[in-house]
Amino acid sequence: MQEDFAQQWKRVEDMLTERFGKKPNMEAILFLIGIQELNHIKKKFTKEQKQDLMHVATCTLLSQSGYFEVEGRDKDGWPHFKEVQPVPKMNMLEQERFLQEHIIAYFDDLEGR
């Protein structure tokens, strides 16, 4: 199971590395997912918008497991979420693995569309 997860995660990293020319860290991956979900490309985002994009990505990822759901979009097209159930308490390593599992599922779903 551990090896399977490592292979799946490597596949996501390789796909993003091929597309963007360098291996992304977790923040970069969340930023990219946030942009994908916002569906509005612009050249520059403020620091606050970058944080908001990572928040959108995290909520989007965790909505796969029923922790959040989309409430709607504001006048600028930004999605807003509500918490459906609390995310379990985890240490940093567990949080990273939890997000990685959701990122793998997210990209698998995108490929399936």
Q: Which two tokens stand for residue 62?
A: 């965790």
Contact criterion met (CB below 8 Å) for 70 and 80 = yes
pLDDT band with cut points at 50, 70 and 90 for residue 113: low
Tokens 């979420």 locate to 81
Per-residue pLDDT at 71 exceeds 80: yes
Per-residue pLDDT at 29 exceeds 90: yes
- Those residues whose C-beta lies under 8 Å from the C-beta of residue 68, and which sit 6 or more positions away, are 59, 60, 62, 81, 82, 83, 84
User: Mean pLDDT score of the chain, rounded to an integer?
Assistant: 93
Contact criterion met (CB below 8 Å) for 34 and 56 = yes
Say what the pTM is: 0.90
Question: In the beta sheet, which residues pair with residue 82?
Answer: 69
Count how many domains the chain has.
Answer: 1
Query: What is the model's pLDDT at position 11?
Result: 94
Give the structural domain span for 31. 2-112
pLDDT band with cut points at 50, 70 and 90 for residue 108: very high
Please state, in angstroms and rounded to a whole number, the distance separating the CA atoms of residues 18 and 15: 5
